[in-house]
């Protein structure tokens, strides 16, 4: 059974979910849906998508994949910053709900910070929550100063997560942002945990993986899952990779493993701006 993490509301969700970026490509729709369903069967019931992904095509695919099991899913989508005005976010959410074939989102995120004042976006989120269209809201790609500003606003402390780029090669958040989120009991949701397949898999990572009889990417996901206050959302379009992702949750890296990875992928020694893809 997958480990869970507690949201600020007290609700528990799996620490390992499924991302959907770059799904719904031509000729891969059937295999993408099959992979999502397998992941759900294996306990990865947290599914993340966005209106940006394929300009709605991925939401439609996810909706098809979960149509008969919607109540088993913790469903996340994200809104474009330019749609995040008080009125615009209501309309964007309705469009996402229609594509997903559902009457509510479990979590709705501001995809990144734009020009709309945060106060206005929060009002939109809270109106959606009051109407039962969303159950929780949060943000994505917010750095520490953004989070401090957000949580200082009216209703800002209702933020349920901050979804950011975080993996072995992108550890800048560990210096300031990750500790801040942990102190404020706001889960960090890590996207692109294997750097979209570009993570360096030679050297220490390969050695650690070999010692555990797993792939380097599994070891990289296991490394993230051992971090406190972190949810990981790898994307996979094949059954084999889905099974690999799930198996990564059962890997326990020893202190020596972690030391090797720290030497190869050093943690930050000073504050760095948050990275994104």
53 is catalytic: yes
Choose the catalytic residue: 53, 108, 166, 217. 53
* Contact status, residue 23 vs residue 61, Cβ threshold 8 Å: yes
C-beta separation of 206 from 174 below 8 A: no
Residue 84 CA, chain-centre distance (Å), reads 19
- For the four alpha carbons of 139, 156, 159 and 177, in that order, the dihedral sign comes to positive
Q: Identify which of 84, 80, 144 has the alpha carbon closest to the alpha carbon of residue 118.
A: 84
The pair of three-digit structure tokens given for residue 66, joined into one six-digit string = 């979960």
Which two structure tokens, joined as six digits, stand for 163? 């979804």
Residue position matching structure tokens 């929550």: 129
What 8-state DSSP symbol labels residue 152?
T
CB distance 223 to 261 below 8 Å: yes
Report the chain's terminal Cα–Cα distance, integer Å.
Answer: 31
Closest-CA residue to 221 (of 245, 204, 257): 245
* Side-chain half-sphere exposure of 99, counting CA atoms within 13 A: 23
CB neighbour list of residue 210: distance below 8 Å, 6 or more residues apart: none
d(CA 10, CA 155): 17
C-alpha distances out from residue 225 to 132, 221, 266, Å = 31, 6, 18
Report, as residue numbers or ranges, the catalytic residues: 53
């Amino acid at each position: 059974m997958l480990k869970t993490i507690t949201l600020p509301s007290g609700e528990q969700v799996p620490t390992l979910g499924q991302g959907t970026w770059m799904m719904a490509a031509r000729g891969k729709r059937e295999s993408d849906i099959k992979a999502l369903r397998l992941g759900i069967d294996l306990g990865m019931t947290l599914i993340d998508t966005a209106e940006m992904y394929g300009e709605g095509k991925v939401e439609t695919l996810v909706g098809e994949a979960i149509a008969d099991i919607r109540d088993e899913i913790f469903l996340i989508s994200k809104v474009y910053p330019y749609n995040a005005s008080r009125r615009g976010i209501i309309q964007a959410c309705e469009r996402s709900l229609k594509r997903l074939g559902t009457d509510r989102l479990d979590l709705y995120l501001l995809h990144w910070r734009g020009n709309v004042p945060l106060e206005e976006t929060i009002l939109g989120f809270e109106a959606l929550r009051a109407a039962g269209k969303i159950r929780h809201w949060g943000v994505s790609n917010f750095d520490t100063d953004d989070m401090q500003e957000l949580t200082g606003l009216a209703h800002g402390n209702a933020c349920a997560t901050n979804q950011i780029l975080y993996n072995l090669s992108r550890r800048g958040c560990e210096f300031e942002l990750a500790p801040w989120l942990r102190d404020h009991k706001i889960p960090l949701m890590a996207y692109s945990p294997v750097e979209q397949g570009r993570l360096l898999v030679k050297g220490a990572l390969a050695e650690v993986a070999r010692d555990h009889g797993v792939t380097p990417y599994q070891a990289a996901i296991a490394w993230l899952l051992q971090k406190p206050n972190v949810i990981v959302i790898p994307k996979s379009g094949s059954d084999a990779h889905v099974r690999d992702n799930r198996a990564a949750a059962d890997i326990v890296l020893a202190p020596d493993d972690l030391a090797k990875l720290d030497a190869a992928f050093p943690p930050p020694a000073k504050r760095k701006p948050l990275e994104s893809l």
